[in-house]
A and B are shown apart, each in its own frame.
Chain A
Amino acid sequence: MSTYLRVLIIEDQPAYAEFMIEVLRSGGFSPEWRVVETESDYIAHLNPSLDVIISDYSLPRFGGLRALELLQERGLDIPLIVVTGSVAEEAVAEALKQGAADYLLKSHWNRLPIAVKHVLEQKQLRIAKVREEEQLKEAREYSRYLIDSSLDMIISVDKGRRIIEFNRAAQETFGYNKAEVLGKSVNMLYADPEEGSKVHETVLRTGQCTAEIMNLRKDGGTFPSFLAASILGGGRGETLGVMGISREITEHKRVVEAEYLRTQELEALFNIASVLAQPGSFEDRATRVLEQLVKIAQADWAVLRVPDENKQGLRLVAAAGPAIEDSPPPPLLRYSESLLGPTGLQEAQPVVFNDYPALPGASPALVELGVRSGVSLPINAHRRSLGLINVVSKETSHFTPQQVRLLTAIADQLGVLLENTRLSEEITLKQELESRMNTFISLASHELRTPTNIIMGFTELLIDRDPPRDVSQDWLKRVYQSSQRLTIIVNDLLNVSRIQSGKITAELRHLPLGSVVEEVLSNIGLTTSKHQFLVDIPPDTPQVVGDWDKLVQVLTNLLDNAVKYSPQGGRITVSARHEPERVVVAVADHGIGIAPHDLEHLFTTFQRIRRPETVGIRGSGLGLYVVKALVELMQGQVWVESELNVGSTFFFSVPTQWADIVSREGSTRAGGGI
C-alpha cells in the first residue's frame, strides 16, 4: 500500500520534477503534486495541508533559502528538503541552519523516498513532543492548583530536611511566604526541633508517621497541629524526601479538652454525690471527697480544716492524697500561719497560690513539706463559714482555671455535707438530751417517791398509832432501809450529774481497804436478813490510793446490786488480791446472774436488764454507770464475770501507787449532761 503524499516542488525544469514524482512513486508514495517556479507562485500554493516541500537550492529568480524564510514567516511546520546539483558544503550547512529538514544531491535521486520518509517521521515526533510538553504543563498546573487549594498545610522537604514545598495554607498559617522558607531547614517550623527530627526519622524508617506537633509561627507564637507525614517518592521509586500534610488543631484541642474536663467534672460530681449519699462517718465521707479532689486536680494532697475556737487556728479534719503519708500536714494550722485567717475564711471566693513560698507570710512548716502551689477553697453554707479545703501541689503554678472552677463546685458540695452533719449532730444531741431529761424525770419521780413515801408513811403511822414494839421495830427497819436506798439514789444522781458535766474530782489518799469495806457493810448489812456477808482481805494487802467517799459509793452500789439480784439470799463475798501496783476487789453473789448479751450494756447509764426475775427489783439503772466512772476516775478498771442463774462477780482495781497528780479532773465526759 502506498502512502498518500501532498508535495510542492520548486523547480524550473519540469523534467526534473516529473522524475522526482516518478522516484517517489517507485519509493512507495502516491503523490499529489504541483510544481512552482516563482516566489509568488510558491506563496499562492502554500498551505498547511502540504506534507513536504522539495526545493532546488538555487533557481534564477527563487531558491530554497527564500522558501524556508517564507515558511517560517507564516509559522508553517512543513518539512522542506533542499536539492543541490553539487556537493556545496557551505550551501548545505546554510540550508540546514535555516531550518531545512534534509538535503539531497541530484546525483542521488534514489535517496529521495528515504529522505521524505525520514522528514515525515521527524515531523510526527515533533508534534508528539509538543503535545507531551503541553500535557506535562497542564499536569503541573493541576497539581499546583490542588496543593494551593488545600485547606490542609502541605509541606515537603528533601532528604536534607530543606523545605521544597510550602503551600498556601502553610503560608497563611505560619505567616511565611514561600521565598522565606524554600531551601531552609524545616526546623524553623517546630517549637521543639527535636520533635521534627523524630518525625523525619520515623518516616524514613517506617514509611510514615502521624503525630501531634507543636509548631512555631513566624511571629514566635505556637500552635498545635496534627501531622501525617510520608515518604516523598520519585517516579522511579526513589526517595526524594518527606512530605507532610497537617492541620492546625488549636480549636479542636480546646473543644476536646473542654469536653474532657466536663466529663471529668461530671464524673467527679457523680462520685461525690454517691459518697455523700452513702452512710458513714463525716470524716470518712470527707476523706473520700478529698480523694476525688486530688484525682481531679492531679494534686499531691488535699485537706479539710475547720476553725478550732479554743486553739485559734484551723484544725485538720480529713486529709487525702498520695503524698500524705510521707509528708503529713500539720494537725493544727494557726491563723498566723494561715494565709486565710479568720477573716479570710469569710471570703466566698477561692484563692489560688501559684508560688506559695514566695508569698509573704507563707507557713514555713508547709514550705518545708514541699507546698509550691495550692488552692484554698472556703466552705460556706447559709452564708456561714464552715471551714476550708486546701488542695496542694509540689509544683509551682500547678492549677488551671478550669480545675479551680471544678474544685470550687465540689467544695460547695462538701459545705452541704458539713452543714448537714452539724445539723444532724445538733438534733441528735438535742434528742439525746431530751430523752435523758425524760428518763431523769421519770426516774426521779419513781425512784425518789417510793422510799420517800415509805419514810413519810411509816413515821406518820408510828406517831399516830403508837403500835406494839414488834410492829414499830418492823416499821422502823423499813424506814431505815428506805433512807439507805434514798441515800444511794441521791448520791448516784449527784455523781451522774457531776460526771456528765465533767466536774467530778477525786481526793486521793492512802486508804486501808478493809476499813472502807467495813463501813459499807455496816450500812448494807442492816437492809437484809437473808444474806450472809463474807470478807476475804488478806492481812498483807497494801493500802490503796483512792478517794474514801468514792470507794464507799462504788462498794455500796456493787453490794446493793449483789443483794438485790440474789433475792433468794445466800452468801455475798467481798475479796481482795494484791497485784503489781494495784489491788483487785471482787464482789461475788449467788444470784440470778447476767445473760451474755446483757453484759455489753451493763455499764451504760439508765440501763436496766429486763427479765422476769428482775420484775419487782427496784433500781435506778444508774448504779453501774457511776461505779465505772468513779473507778476510772481513780485510775482503776471495772469488769464482770457472770453466769446465768449461778451468780455474778464484779471486779474493780484500785492503784497502790501515787499517780502523778493528787487530784485529778474528771475526763469521762459522756456528752451533753444534765
Chain B
Amino acid sequence: MRKKVLVVDDEEDIISLLHATLGNDDRCQVLSARDGEEALNIIYQKKPDLIFLDILMPKMDGYEVCQKLKSDPATAHIKIIMLTALAQEFDRRKAVEVGADRYFTKPFSPTALLKTVEEVLGS
C-alpha cells in the first residue's frame, strides 16, 4: 500500500529536500504544508501515515500540532517525526513529552532520515 507522508515546514527549501529524499513514487506520496493550521486541515482530510513536523512555524507551532494529534484517538496512531533547527536538550525532552515518535535536528542526512522512516513505518 502507498504510504502518505506529510511534510510541514515554513522553509520552501526544506520541503524540496524532503520531497527529493522521500521520492514521490508508487511507494510514497509526499504532501506538504507551510504552517500548523494548514497541516491540521490536510491531516484530517488525507489521513497521512507519517508527519515531518517543524517546531518553529507561524500560526501554530510543532509542539501544539503534535499534542493535538496524539491526544485525538482519530489521529493518535499517526507517526510523527519532529524535524527542527532547535537542538537543545530542553526541546528534545519537550518533543517526547508531547508524544513525538522521533526527533531529528537540522542539518539532517537524507540517508539517515530514510532509514528512520522505514523503521517507523515498519516496511
Contact = CB atoms under 8 A, between A and B. Distances in A.
B121 interface: no
Nearest to A442: B86
A111 interface: no
B10 A457 contact: no
B14 interface: yes
A454 B56 contact: no
A445 B110 contact: no
B122 interface: no
B107 A456 contact: yes
B20 A458 contact: yes
A618 B10 CA distance: 9
A454 B87 contact: no
A505 B17 CA distance: 40
B11 interface: yes
B110 A452 contact: no
Interface size class of chain B, counting residues whose CB lies under 8 Å from the partner chain: 20 to 34
B97 interface: no
Contacts of B16: 478
Which secondary structure characterizes the binding site on chain A?
helix
B2 to A, nearest CB: 20
Interface in B8-43: 10-14, 16-17, 20-21, 34-35
A442 B84 CA distance: 12
A15 interface: no
Contacts of A460: 109-111
A478 B13 contact: yes
B85 A457 contact: no
A618 B16 CA distance: 15
B107 A475 contact: no
A461 B35 contact: no
Nearest to B13: A454
Contacts of A478: 13, 16-17
Interface in A412-461: 442, 445-446, 449-454, 456-458, 460-461
A481 B16 CA distance: 13
Nearest to A471: B20
A540 interface: no
Which secondary structure characterizes the binding site on chain B?
loop
B24 to A, nearest CB: 12
A616 interface: yes
A90 interface: no
A616 B10 contact: yes
A449 B56 CA distance: 13
A482 interface: yes
Contact of B109 (A445, A457, A618): A457
A377 B109 CA distance: 69
Contact of A453 (B12, B17, B58): B17
Interface string B85-123: 111000000000000000001111111000000000000
Contacts of B105: 449
Given A454-B17, A460-B109, A460-B110, 12 more contacts: A442-B86, A445-B85, A449-B87, A453-B108, A457-B20, A458-B17, A461-B17, A461-B20, A615-B10, A615-B34, A615-B58, A616-B12
A450 B21 contact: no
A450 B11 contact: yes
Contact of B108 (A442, A457, A471, A618): A457
A457 B110 contact: yes
A456 B13 CA distance: 12
- A-B pairs with lowest CB-CB distance, top 9: A453-B107, A449-B85, A449-B106, A446-B85, A453-B106, A457-B17, A615-B58, A452-B107, A445-B85
A339 to B, nearest CB: 58
Contact of A464 (B10, B58, B87, B111): B111
Interface string A589-618: 000000000000000000000000001101
Interface in B32-66: 34-35, 56, 58
A446 B108 contact: no
Contact of A457 (B35, B86, B87, B107): B107
A435 B38 CA distance: 32
B76 to A, nearest CB: 29
A670 B105 CA distance: 33
A475 B13 CA distance: 10
A464 B110 CA distance: 10
Interface centre among B16, B17, B110 (most CB of A within 10 A): B17
Contact of A450 (B34, B87, B106): B106
A478 B109 CA distance: 16
Contacts of B58: 615-616
A471 B85 CA distance: 26
Contact of B14 (A442, A450, A475): A450
Contacts of A481: 13
B20 A475 contact: yes
A445 B20 contact: no
Contacts of A446: 56, 85-86
